Structures are given as structure tokens and as C-alpha cells.
């Protein structure tokens, strides 16, 4: 066994449920709290949103019209629509640069991919795109009971065990299903602590409560102000 493997198993042993003062769902919430919001997006949604944009680009090229999702077409003003499109542009640009720098054009029959600036689209087209995205988002939430979304947190499961409710960030390994105690504890003791997924697993077994307010409902934000020296 290599030194790295030995340290990995040692860390995993420390994460075993009996070493933590917190119940399983609090520990799981702690493992995942550091996941970036983008990492909580289900792959199905990412694929469907991309498909909408691909259709929109084709419509844009020929000067056509993209049918919106009329249930969501009037849900936001033009400024918010522009912000949503700009957010998509950031992710698109990262992928475009990766392919441009690395020359990864094999899945385009080695054809150079044009870089699109979606801000140049007309507002009706951008609004139709966003309405379709929102419709897919609402559909996914309907089809997955227990799943929630918050702009500043991402997609998350709201899990209650006993009288404690925890917001557990969604991860692709959930396969669209609410995590269970059995699955969580099996994963915990398998030698794969949460840090390998980019999370700070120390929060899951620490008895300190400074971070619990982020994902455990009912825990108040601690007073982090620097206390001055009391005069005697």
C-alpha cells in the first residue's frame, strides 16, 4: 500500500459515522457544502439547456423565430434576461477556449467551431431561450420530489431525519434520487472522504457550529464580529 493510499484510508477511517457527533444527513451536507453551484446542476438539465441554445443558434442564423415557453415568457425583465444569457456565455466561452487552445475539434469532424456572442441576439430570441430554460428547470423539479433550488445555493435535497432538516447539495452520484442513510454511510466508510469531491469534510465531523448555519435549517448565523477587550 502506498503512503498516499495509507493516508487516504486513515482519513476515511476518521470519517466513519461513530467518530462524528452529527447525524448522517448533517455529515453529508457538510461534505458537499463547498461544491460550486455549477456542480449541482443535473447533467440532464445541462444537456437540455444546451440543446435549446443549439436550436436558437440555428434560428438566429436564418432569421427565424424560436417558440418560447409561454408559461415563463413574462417572468423577468430585459435586464435579468441579459444576465441569464451572459451567465450562459461564460460557460460557453470556457468550453470554446478549451477546444481552441487544445485543438479538440474531433467531434466536429475537425471543423473549426465559430464562437458566438449571444448578447448580439435579439431580445425576443433571448427571452424565448430563457423561458425554455425555466420550463425545463420547473419540469425537472416536478419530476424529482424533494429537490429544491436556490440561486445562491444551487440544486439541493431537503432531507429531514428526526427533528433536523438539512439542505444537501445535489451531486451527479445521486442519480436523481434523494440520498439515504444507508447509501451515505456506505460511501462514508468506503475510503472516499468528501474532500475528493472538493468539499471540506472536516466540517462534517467537527463539533463546531460555525458552518452549520449554511445548510442546517434552524441554526442561527453566529456572531463573527471581533470582540473588544472589556474594560474593568
pLDDT at 74: 83
Cα atoms found within 13 Å of the Cα of residue 119, Cβ hemisphere only: 9
Which neighbouring-strand residues pair with 160? 165
pLDDT at 34: 86
pLDDT at 18: 56
pLDDT truncated to tens, each residue of the chain (232 aa)?
A: 455 554 544 454 445 555 667 888 898 888 888 889 888 999 899 989 989 999 999 999 999 999 999 999 887 899 999 999 998 998 888 777 777 777 665 555 555 667 889 999 999 999 999 999 999 999 999 999 999 999 999 999 999 998 899 999 999 889 899 999 988 887 777 655 443 343 444 444 444 455 788 889 888 776 656 655 555 4
Decide: pTM greater than 0.85. Answer: no
pLDDT at 55: 94
Domain extents for the chain?
A: 13-40+146-214, 43-143
Amino acid at each position: 500500500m502506498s503512503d498516499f493510499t495509507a493516508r487516504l484510508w486513515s482519513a476515511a477511517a476518521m470519517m466513519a459515522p461513530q467518530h462524528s457527533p452529527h447525524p448522517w444527513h448533517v455529515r453529508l451536507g457538510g461534505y458537499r457544502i463547498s461544491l460550486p453551484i455549477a456542480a449541482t446542476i443535473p447533467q440532464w438539465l445541462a444537456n437540455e439547456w444546451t440543446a435549446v441554445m443549439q436550436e436558437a443558434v440555428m434560428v438566429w442564423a436564418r432569421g427565424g423565430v424560436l417558440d418560447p415557453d409561454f408559461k415563463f415568457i413574462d417572468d423577468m425583465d430585459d435586464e435579468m434576461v441579459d444576465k441569464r444569457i451572459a451567465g450562459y456565455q461564460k460557460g460557453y466561452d470556457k468550453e470554446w477556449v478549451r477546444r481552441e487552445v487544445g485543438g479538440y475539434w474531433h467531434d466536429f469532424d475537425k471543423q473549426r467551431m465559430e464562437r458566438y456572442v449571444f448578447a448580439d441576439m435579439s431580445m425576443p430570441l433571448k427571452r424565448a431561450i430563457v423561458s425554455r430554460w425555466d420550463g425545463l428547470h420547473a419540469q425537472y423539479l416536478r419530476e424529482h420530489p424533494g429537490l429544491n433550488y436556490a440561486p445562491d445555493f444551487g440544486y439541493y435535497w431537503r432531507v429531514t431525519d428526526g427533528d433536523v432538516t438539512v439542505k444537501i447539495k445535489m451531486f451527479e452520484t445521486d442519480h436523481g434520487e434523494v440520498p439515504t442513510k444507508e447509501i451515505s454511510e456506505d460511501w462514508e466508510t468506503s475510503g472516499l472522504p468528501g474532500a475528493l469531491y472538493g468539499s471540506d469534510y472536516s466540517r462534517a465531523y467537527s463539533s463546531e457550529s460555525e458552518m452549520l448555519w449554511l445548510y442546517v435549517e434552524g441554526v442561527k448565523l453566529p456572531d463573527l464580529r471581533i470582540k473588544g477587550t472589556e474594560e474593568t
